[in-house]
């Protein structure tokens, strides 16, 4: 079997383990599914009249608008949970088992990220299903839904890269868990939950440059209006940037981990 | 050809030098016992030899490959069961072994076959589909050992494989290590248990404060620190007379109490009949007689000035968990 095929099998096996681990540990799956679903229910129930505000983009319902935000929240928390799980692996010595195997060590990080990406895909399907069940339309049709799913999946991989890098650098699940509020701050300072045009300063300016705004808009547009090439490309660029940052940080953190043992 | 060669290996963490230039060689098919108290540098050495930690000085090769320059080849040749079995409590035993088979590059069908066979071998077949978190300490160590064997490694590193286990589980692991060694696997075993090193190892290296202070076969090391002695308990008031008789046979050692006489005997058990005859001829009643051989603890004391057993006992009382 070639090196590449072996590495691909390892990444798949580690990804599968990562998914099983998440579903077997309630504290990892709960933030990805339960928390964003509850928030979606609360917000659509309580702030539905927001769509009447001048400047609010034309949408069929507040639920339709919120789906992208919920997917973003779930995706980011999947990245955070992936980082926590990776740090737990380091704390309990499980990563030593992986590092002692004759595989490229970056495959270990990729395996974790593959699992996180799969959770992102799961999150996108979950929320699209909720939207459809409760009457939200996907204006972009099946291609639009597939685009939203692809963007969320890729974003989960990107955010997971940052989580993995922090886990490798610190080796502490508590530190990665401590980033949970930061994830929410970054998300609320984007256009994930609220139209940028209706924000006040300085939140509006921050949201304007926040890469997660580009991703949120890229995911939202096929749901509320239809596929828009510019917004899609902006989202892809933002995701690519975060992936690149995650890869660089992960590579450095991996070296650090091997240096300190 | 040696399976492991280490020359001047060092590892520092900031100012602290955990391993201070050790040299050792382990032959193919040997069980090498790396004995020392907690914090002596055993685990740090194993982590360097298994490519989990970069050395800060010196060189080492395992299975003919340099641990720094040819780390991947080293990892393909070794099996590793680290201290504190590195297991995921949420996985089942079967999932873990199959994952390990994938990590070692075995084809899926072969991985499944070896997983089944190894689970059988370590007597975990019945528990194979239970989550590891429900296993006892002994079961976890056996699973860890099985995982380390999935690719039939040439060299097996076992870092304190029995620490925290009950005597029965410990004996089971020992039997498995012996069986593996009989199949030709070289075993590098770290331990803080004197008995474990004595029972299993062909050669022993004693490490203390990051330095190897003694190395050799257990017998040779024990012979270095002195001859065996006979410890006798004689009747009331007969100690002085017994000492007068026995001084003709061997060197008298300081008595432990008023009833015991200790005499060093070069030939060990071969001299027991002579001692018994001499005391009988002198009309001295012997209540008990025991041949006491030097232990690895005596070697440890001789080389370091303190008892390993005391360290071990202290650790056990604080760290043992039910198996």
pLDDT of residue B312: 52
* Structure confidence at residue B311 as a pLDDT band (50, 70, 90): low
pLDDT of residue A261: 63
Q: Rounded CA gap, A14 and A105, in Å?
A: 12
Which stretch of A247-256, B6-15, B95-104 has the lowest confidence by average pLDDT?
Answer: A247-256
Mean of per-residue pLDDT scores for chain A: 89
Across the interface, whether the CB atoms of B91 and A100 are under 8 A apart is answered no
Does pLDDT of B309 surpass 70?
no
Which stretch of B110-124, B128-142, B241-255, B307-321 has the lowest confidence by average pLDDT?
Answer: B307-321
pLDDT of residue B316: 42
pLDDT of residue B18: 92
Q: How far is B119 from chain A (nearest CA, A)?
A: 18
Residue predicted with more confidence, B132 or A3? B132
pLDDT digit string (tens) for A142-160? 999 999 999 999 999 999 9
Mean pLDDT of the region B260-265? 87
The predicted model scores a pTM of: 0.80
- Out of B86, B90, B95, whose CB is closest to A93? B86
Across the interface, whether the CB atoms of B75 and A24 are under 8 A apart is answered no
* Structure confidence at residue B168 as a pLDDT band (50, 70, 90): confident
pLDDT of residue A32: 87
- Contacts with A21 from chain B: Cβ below 8 Å: 88, 90-91
- Contacts with A87 from chain B: Cβ below 8 Å: none
Residue A21, chain B, CB below 8 Å: the answer is yes
Across the interface, whether the CB atoms of A1 and B105 are under 8 A apart is answered yes
Q: How far is A200 from chain B (nearest CA, A)?
A: 46
* Structure confidence at residue B320 as a pLDDT band (50, 70, 90): very low
Nearest to B62, CA basis, from B35, B44, B151, B51: B51
pLDDT digit string (tens) for B170-194? 888 888 889 889 888 999 999 888 8
Residue A101, chain B, CB below 8 Å: the answer is yes
* Structure confidence at residue B49 as a pLDDT band (50, 70, 90): very high
Please work out, in degrees rounded to the nearest 5, the angle formed at the alpha carbon of residue A32 by the alpha carbons of A216 and A206.
Answer: 35
Strand partners for B290? B231
Residue with tokens 């995911």: A219
Across the interface, whether the CB atoms of A1 and B107 are under 8 A apart is answered yes
Residue A112, chain B, CB below 8 Å: the answer is no
Across the interface, whether the CB atoms of A20 and B91 are under 8 A apart is answered yes
Does pLDDT of A126 surpass 80?
yes
SS3 for B252?
Answer: strand
pLDDT of residue B222: 84
DSSP class per residue in A59-123: -S-HHHHHHHHHHHHHHHHHHHHHHHHHHHHHHTTHHHHHHTSSS-THHHHHHHHHHHHHHHHHH
Q: Domains of chain B by range and CATH?
A: 2-223 (3.40.50.300), 227-292 (3.30.70.980)
Tally the residues of chain B: 323
Q: Rounded CA gap, A66 and A194, in Å?
A: 8
Nearest to A144, CA basis, from A213, A214, A82, A223: A223
Across the interface, whether the CB atoms of A13 and B104 are under 8 A apart is answered no
Chain A residue with Cα closest to B45 = A261
pLDDT of residue B256: 67
Residue predicted with more confidence, B306 or B118? B118
Does pLDDT of A122 surpass 70?
yes
Across the interface, whether the CB atoms of B78 and A20 are under 8 A apart is answered no
Chain A residue with Cα closest to B54 = A259
pLDDT of residue A56: 80
Does pLDDT of B322 surpass 50?
no
Question: What percentage of residues in chain B have a pLDDT greater than 70?
Answer: 94
Mean pLDDT of the region A230-250? 93
Q: Rounded CA gap, A173 and A162, in Å?
A: 14
> Six-digit token pair at A173?
């699940």
8 Å CB contact between B44 and B53: yes
Contacts of A234 (CB under 8 A, 6+ apart): A214, A217, A218
List C-alpha distances in Å: A141 to A10, A138, A233, B279: 36, 5, 19, 105
Which parts of chain B fold into alpha helices (H)?
Answer: 42-49, 71-77, 93-103, 108-121, 137-148, 167-182, 194-200, 218-224, 239-246, 272-281, 296-304, 308-319
pLDDT of residue B321: 29
pLDDT of residue A1: 57
- Out of A6, A25, A100, whose CB is closest to B50? A100
Residue A255, chain B, CB below 8 Å: the answer is no
pLDDT of residue B315: 46
Residue predicted with more confidence, B317 or B18? B18
* Structure confidence at residue B318 as a pLDDT band (50, 70, 90): very low
SS3 for A246?
Answer: helix
* Structure confidence at residue A49 as a pLDDT band (50, 70, 90): confident
Does pLDDT of A124 surpass 70?
yes
φ and ψ of A10, to 5 deg: -65, -45
Does pLDDT of B76 surpass 80?
yes
pLDDT of residue B28: 93
8 Å CB contact between A234 and A151: no
Mean pLDDT of the region A114-141? 92
> Six-digit token pair at A213?
């705004």
pLDDT of residue B266: 82
* Structure confidence at residue B301 as a pLDDT band (50, 70, 90): confident
* Structure confidence at residue A135 as a pLDDT band (50, 70, 90): confident
Across the interface, whether the CB atoms of A20 and B90 are under 8 A apart is answered yes
* Structure confidence at residue B74 as a pLDDT band (50, 70, 90): very high
Chain A residue with Cα closest to B148 = A97
Which stretch of A44-58, A142-156, A246-260, B36-50 has the lowest confidence by average pLDDT?
Answer: A44-58
Q: Rounded CA gap, B285 and B242, in Å?
A: 9
- Contacts with A98 from chain B: Cβ below 8 Å: 103
Does pLDDT of B103 surpass 70?
yes
Residue predicted with more confidence, A240 or A22? A240
Mean pLDDT of the region A60-81? 90
**Exposed, middle or buried, A113 (CB in 10 Å: 0-12/13-18/19+)?**
buried
pLDDT of residue A123: 92
- Out of A21, A94, A101, whose CB is closest to B75? A101
Which parts of chain A fold into alpha helices (H)?
Answer: 3-24, 26-46, 62-91, 94-99, 106-133, 141-170, 173-177, 180-188, 203-209, 211-224, 229-260
pLDDT of residue A45: 78
Q: How far is A130 from chain B (nearest CA, A)?
A: 30
pLDDT of residue B77: 93
Which stretch of A44-58, A76-90, B15-29 has the lowest confidence by average pLDDT?
Answer: A44-58
Q: How far is A247 from chain B (nearest CA, A)?
A: 21
């Amino acid at each position: 079997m070639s090196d590449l095929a072996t590495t691909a099998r390892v990444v798949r096996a580690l990804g599968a383990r990562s998914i099983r681990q998440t579903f077997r540990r309630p504290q990892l799956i709960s933030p990805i599914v339960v928390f964003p679903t509850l928030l979606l229910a609360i917000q659509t129930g309580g702030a539905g009249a927001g769509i009447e505000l001048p400047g609010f983009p034309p949408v069929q319902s507040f639920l339709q608008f919120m789906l992208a935000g919920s997917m973003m929240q779930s995706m980011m928390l999947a990245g955070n949970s992936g980082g926590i799980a990776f740090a737990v692996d380091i704390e309990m010595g499980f990563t030593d088992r992986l590092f002692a195997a004759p595989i490229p060590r970056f495959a270990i990080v990729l395996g974790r990220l593959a699992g996180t990406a799969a959770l992102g895909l799961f999150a996108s399907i979950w929320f699209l299903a909720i939207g459809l069940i409760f009457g939200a339309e996907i204006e972009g049709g099946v291609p639009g839904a597939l685009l939203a799913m692809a963007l969320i999946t890729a974003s989960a991989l990107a955010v997971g890269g940052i989580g993995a890098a922090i886990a490798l650098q610190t080796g502490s699940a508590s530190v990665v868990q401590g980033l949970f509020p930061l994830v929410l701050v970054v998300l609320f300072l984007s256009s994930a939950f609220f139209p940028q045009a209706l924000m006040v300063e300085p939140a509006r300016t921050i949201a304007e440059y926040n890469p997660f705004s580009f991703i949120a808009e890229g995911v939202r547009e096929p749901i509320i209006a239809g596929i828009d090439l510019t917004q899609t490309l902006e989202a892809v660029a933002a995701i690519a940037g975060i992936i690149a940052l995650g890869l660089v940080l992960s590579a450095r953190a991996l070296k650090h981990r091997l240096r300190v043992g | 050809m040696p399976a492991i060669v280490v020359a001047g290996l060092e590892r520092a963490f900031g100012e602290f030098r955990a391993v201070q230039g050790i040299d050792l060689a382990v032959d193919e098919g040997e069980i090498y016992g790396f004995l020392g108290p907690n914090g002596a540098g055993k685990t740090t050495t194993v982590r360097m030899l298994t490519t989990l930690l970069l050395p800060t000085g010196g060189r080492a090769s395992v299975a003919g490959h340099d641990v720094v320059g040819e780390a991947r080849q080293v990892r393909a040749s070794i099996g590793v069961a680290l201290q504190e079995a590195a297991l995921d409590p949420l996985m089942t035993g079967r999932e873990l072994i199959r994952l390990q088979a994938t990590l070692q590059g075995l084809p899926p069908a072969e991985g499944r076959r070896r997983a089944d066979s190894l689970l059988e071998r370590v007597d975990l077949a019945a528990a194979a589909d239970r989550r590891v978190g429900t296993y006892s300490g002994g079961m976890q160590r056996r699973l860890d050992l099985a995982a380390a064997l999935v690719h039939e490694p040439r060299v097996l590193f076992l870092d304190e494989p029995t620490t925290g286990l009950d005597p029965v589980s410990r004996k089971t692991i020992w039997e498995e290590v012996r069986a593996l060694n009989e199949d030709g696997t070289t075993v590098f075993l770290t331990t803080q248990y004197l008995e474990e090193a004595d029972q299993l190892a062909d050669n022993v290296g004693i490490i203390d404060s990051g330095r190897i202070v003694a190395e050799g076969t257990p017998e040779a090391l024990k012979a270095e620190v002195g001859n065996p002695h006979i410890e006798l308990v004689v009747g009331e008031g007969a100690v002085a007379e017994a000492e007068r008789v026995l001084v003709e046979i061997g060197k008298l050692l300081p008595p432990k109490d008023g009833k015991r006489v200790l005499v060093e005997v070069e030939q060990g058990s071969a001299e027991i009949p002579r001692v018994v005859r001499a005391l009988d001829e002198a009309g001295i009643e012997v209540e008990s007689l025991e041949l006491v051989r030097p232990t690895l603890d005596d070697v440890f004391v001789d080389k370091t000035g303190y008892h390993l057993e005391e360290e071990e006992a202290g650790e056990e009382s604080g760290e043992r968990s039910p198996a």
